[in-house]
Amino acid sequence: MPGETGATTSGQLRVHNLLRVLRAVHDGGAMRTRAQLTHDLDLARGTATVLVADLIGSRLVREEPTVQRTRGRPTRVPGPHPDGPVALAVDFREDSWTVAMAELGGRLTTRETRPHRPGPPEAVLGELADALRAHVRALGQRVAGVGIAMPGPVRGDRLLDVPHLGWRDVEVTALLAASRIAAAPLPVLLDNDATLAGLAEARRGALRGVAVGLHLHVDFDVGGTLILDGRPLRGAHGTGGEFGHMPLTGASGVCACGATGCWSLGVGANALVRLTGGEVTPGQGREEAQRIIAEAMAGDDRAAAALTSTARALGQGVSALVNAHDPQVVTLSGVGADLRTHAEEAVREAYLHGLMMFRRDRPPELVSSALGSEGILVGASEMVFDAFLTPRGLHAWQQAVSPLAGSVAEHRRPTG
Amino acid sequence: MPGETGATTSGQLRVHNLLRVLRAVHDGGAMRTRAQLTHDLDLARGTATVLVADLIGSRLVREEPTVQRTRGRPTRVPGPHPDGPVALAVDFREDSWTVAMAELGGRLTTRETRPHRPGPPEAVLGELADALRAHVRALGQRVAGVGIAMPGPVRGDRLLDVPHLGWRDVEVTALLAASRIAAAPLPVLLDNDATLAGLAEARRGALRGVAVGLHLHVDFDVGGTLILDGRPLRGAHGTGGEFGHMPLTGASGVCACGATGCWSLGVGANALVRLTGGEVTPGQGREEAQRIIAEAMAGDDRAAAALTSTARALGQGVSALVNAHDPQVVTLSGVGADLRTHAEEAVREAYLHGLMMFRRDRPPELVSSALGSEGILVGASEMVFDAFLTPRGLHAWQQAVSPLAGSVAEHRRPTG
DNA sequence: GTTGTTATGTTCTAGCCAAGAGCAAAAAGG
DNA sequence: CCTTTTTGCTCTTGGCTAGAACATAACAAC
């Protein structure tokens, strides 16, 4: 599913095949036996032997025995090496952040959540940097990178806008680098939380194996991402997937983003609060939105009307996106999943009504996220592994493990 | 730019490199010298010699002398072989169709346009089949495939809907196959005209080398495609890119597609006709739209108002798509290019106004198509070459040229 | 016009890689 | 305890690209 490699020389061929094995181990959650991997990757047994031995030698993988009860010589399960690479994943929200650790195979291990007060980026990110530094100290060279999910559009190393915090154009990576979270330079990768929720869904959730999928993450407003062969479509500068800022439902009013009539104005936690007459407190609407949904289910008329209205807006917007992109499945996370669950009829009716005729006989299914609130952290760690499971990442790792044996040559120019 | 290959064995490595050279020849319009290709593809000179010799032996390529005036041993230009593969490209419209021929490098050669009366698919496509059969007879084994651009959504082998012709769910490929256009089975590929216009722009137009581009083809209504690394995003079933059927401008009324408030209702030839009080005659509005634009330029108030209105709707819709997808460039073809040229201010104002704040400092440029009306034919031929320039296509060709020497093995299973 | 310079094509060898065959190993079944 | 089954390991073989050495064909300078 992740990035292609495309070997040209026999040296690159080896790297490509090492990565194929490594990615297969990772994507399979470190559950597949070596025999299965050999078969799935269409390798000769001898080749698999050599490749796995190489990965074990590089401290990337370790083989564990199986608990199988099959005939024949028992095979083993290549999984994460105890000294192997780990990703640090951060889910940064308006009111708190969570740091987790993921090893090869994707399992999230430690987790640490801390609230933060609204404040200038330097202060808030300084606390995060302290926590990251502690993790990096404990893990040593094992940290392959830090992946950070942000609640706003991200362009390269910059967080462009978090209305609820009043943050504009924050150079997150530079601030963290200034806090020296690691002795050696460490890859710090940033992306939008909705994009990463979609990435997680693509790799370990309901969009697994789906060629074209659409993920929508509804939180305070609507974000999302189109998934292509397991890769999110990030756009030319990384700020793609802002579906919430298209005028899909004929809403009126100016959005916080600066555009007019955005879809987000009618869906999401803020819309629920506004529709029930509440005051939108920046970054504080999640619990209130849950409360409104609960009230609606309990029979409160005003809450029910708000729920139905947002559900309709959700369905209508989804239909427009399905018309445009022809996805195979649409997944919903955050409040989107709640709307689908608790106001299914309203969502579905608006959805079908908005579809082009020829799409109505077999419309793409609307599915709730398989990962729930975990998704963002999973996506952040997958982003780190995406960068790591490349010729470049592998080369860097092997250099660190054994600087002399250069199995993966960085680059080279022909004679000319 | 086109499809990846991803070799795993040394045999596949050779195929991969043969295709890299062949694609480089094709993408470069058969203009690059062998020395340039060697450098661009980062090959050793010896490797280039072997690869080019192999391609020449397979009658895929022929080297022509250069007219260069440089020092050193003169290099030559690999270009299309006189007995090499050709693509047949068809631009099928509501009132006529055009057949053209393209050789490796993309040059369009013969061209034949014929009008057709509205009628049942069998009759109209029968005439097209006759023309194709004649071309295939003349070209023999050289025809690598037929690419057909259709003025409506295409799912696999089916043309789903052409409102202006009253066609629904037409099995185009099956009908052509029944007409036996070739003795041996021939790849017949179908796609939407707007998608192919975008594909052409990506390969030989203004989206060349652009990682993420958006092409919009405005004809009777609005179609388009997102271009990713030179590949159009076709969706799960091939019906992606129907941007015209999102409710982006708050238009009222039911669209011919079955949805409500579609963007297409306010842009395009039909909208121009409708806005000037004219009657929309199915499939006949192209000249009238041009006339209205001319009148507007000449000072006619009603025509000018219609022009401005559609231009505004165009700009507004584009801004929504830019918000969502963050393209690097947006290209416009058909009436879209005319609107951009003749009502630039209205388009631009609406475009900027609809953008999210953080996109306004450096908004993606709106550019007119570099290929104009040629684009659809170019795109149809590129689609054929995309399928041909793959291990599968190369294998089939080499089998036909010399059935014994199997340089490209089709597939294989390991010992197990 | 002869020689030098430069850039490119060709040929040959070395090194690397994966496929595959044969053998060894490790389990279950009888 | 022996057979069957499945997998891992080792070694050979064929194929591929890199790179060096050589050949070639132009221009440039004298």
Secondary structure element (H or E) that encloses residue A165, with its range: none
Element (H, E) at B254: none
Cα–Cα distances (Å) from A88 to A187, A195, A268, A391, in that order, read: 10, 17, 29, 20
Nearest to B88 by CA among B46, B17, B131, B145: B145
Chain D bases having any atom below 7 Å from a protein CB? 4-11, 14-21, 23-28
- The reported pLDDT for the residue numbered B77 is 97
The pLDDT of B242-257, averaged and rounded, is: 95
Sign of CA dihedral A125, A130, A135, A137: positive
B252 reaches A (C-beta below 8 A) = no
CB atoms within 10 A of CB A121: 18
Note the CA–C1' distance, A77 to C21, in angstroms.
26
**pLDDT above 90 (res B122):** yes
Give the tokens for residue A183.
């002795």
Is pLDDT above 60 for A138? yes
Cα–Cα distance list, A25 to A21, A184, A383, A408, B400 (Å): 6, 28, 16, 19, 40
Decide if A245 and B324 are in contact by the 8 Å CB cutoff.
yes
The per-residue pLDDT for B118 is 85
Q: What is the mean pLDDT of residues B389-407?
A: 83
Q: Which of A410-414, B87-91, B137-141 has the highest mean pLDDT?
A: B87-91
Confidence band for A413, pLDDT divided at 50, 70 and 90: very low
Q: Compare all CA atoms of chain B with the CA of A6 and give the residue at the minimum distance.
A: B6
Residue of least CA–C1' distance to C21: B415
Nucleotide nearest to B52 (CA to C1'): C9
Whether B234 and chain A come into contact, CB under 8 Å, resolves to yes
**Burial (Cβ within 10 Å: 0-12, 13-18, ≥19) of residue B411:** exposed
Spatial separation of the C-alpha atoms in residues A263 and A206, rounded to whole Å:
24
Question: B412 pLDDT band (50/70/90 cuts)?
Answer: very low
- Interval A70-90 mean pLDDT: 96
Model pLDDT for residues A149-182, shown as the tens digit of each residue: 999 999 999 999 998 899 999 999 999 999 999 9
Residue B85 tokens read as: 């593969």
Q: Name the band, by pLDDT with cuts 50, 70 and 90, for residue B68.
A: confident
Which residue in the set A5, A242, A359 is minimally distant from B324, CB to CB? A242
What's the CA A172/C1' D25 distance, rounded, in angstroms? 58
**Mean of pLDDT values over A116-132:** 94
Mean pLDDT of chain A: 93
* Mean pLDDT in residue range A8-15: 94
Enumerate residues 6+ apart whose C-beta is below 8 A from A138: none
What is the Cα–Cα distance from A247 to A225, expressed in whole angstroms? 17
CB A141: neighbour CB atoms within 10 A? 15
CA distances from B243 to B60, B195, B218, B317, B333 (A): 38, 11, 11, 9, 14
Q: CA of B220, closest CA in chain A: separation in Å?
A: 17
pLDDT > 70? residue B333: yes
Contact B216, B264 (CB under 8 A): no
Asked if the model's pLDDT at residue A404 lies above 90, the reply is no
Residues from chain A that touch B359, judged by Cβ atoms under 8 A, are: 239
**Which residues from B are below 8 Å from A241, CB to CB?**
324-325
CA A255 – CA A270 distance, rounded (Å): 12
pLDDT of residue B283: 67
**Scanning the structure block, which residue is given the tokens 């009618």?**
A266
- What's the whole-number mean pLDDT along residues A286-315? 95
Q: What is the mean pLDDT of residues A243-251?
A: 96
Nearest by CB to B356, which of A5, A257, A354?
A257
Rounded Cα distance between B58 and B411, Å, is 20
Cβ-defined contacts of B32-41 (< 8 Å, 24+): B32/B77, B32/B78, B33/B66, B33/B68, B33/B75, B33/B76, B33/B77, B34/B63, B34/B75, B34/B76, B34/B77, B34/B78, B35/B75, B36/B75, B37/B78, B38/A414, B39/A416, B41/A8, B41/B17
For residue range A31-62, what is the model confidence (pLDDT) as tens digits? 999 999 999 999 999 999 999 999 999 999 99
**Nearest chain B alpha carbon to A226:** B325
B415 closest-nt by C1' vs CA: C20
How many whole angstroms separate alpha carbon A335 and alpha carbon A341?
10
pLDDT digits (tens, 9 = 90+) for A202-239: 999 999 999 999 999 999 999 999 999 999 999 999 99
Task: Determine the Cα angle at A81 with ends A79 and A87, to 5°.
Answer: 95
pLDDT, position A193: 97
Q: How confident is the model at residue A4 (pLDDT cuts 50, 70, 90)?
A: low
Work out the pLDDT band at A403, boundaries 50, 70, 90: low
Taking the CA of residue B13 and the nearest CA in chain A, the distance in Å comes to 6
What is d(CA A100, CA B344) in angstroms, rounded to the nearest whole number?
Answer: 51
Note the pLDDT tens digit of each residue in B3-45: 556 789 999 999 999 999 999 999 999 999 999 999 999 999 9
Which nucleotide shows the minimum CA-to-C1' distance to residue A12? C17
Q: Is the dihedral of CA B402, B407, B410, B411 positive or negative?
A: positive
Q: Ramachandran region of residue B106, left (φ > 0), alpha (ψ -120 to 50) or beta?
A: left
Question: Region A374-391: what's the mean pLDDT?
Answer: 98
Lowest mean pLDDT among A152-166, A280-294, B222-236: A280-294
Task: Check whether B407 has a pLDDT greater than 70.
Answer: no
Name the residue of chain A whose CA is nearest to B211's CA: A236
Segment B255-278 mean pLDDT: 94
| Range B308-330 average pLDDT | 98
Residue A411 pLDDT greater than 50, yes or no: no
Calculate the average pLDDT of chain B: 93
Domains of chain B, start order? 10-82 (1.10.10.10), 86-195+376-399 (3.30.420.40), 209-370 (3.30.420.40)
pLDDT in tens, A252-281: 999 999 999 999 999 999 999 999 988 887
Residue B1: the pLDDT is 53
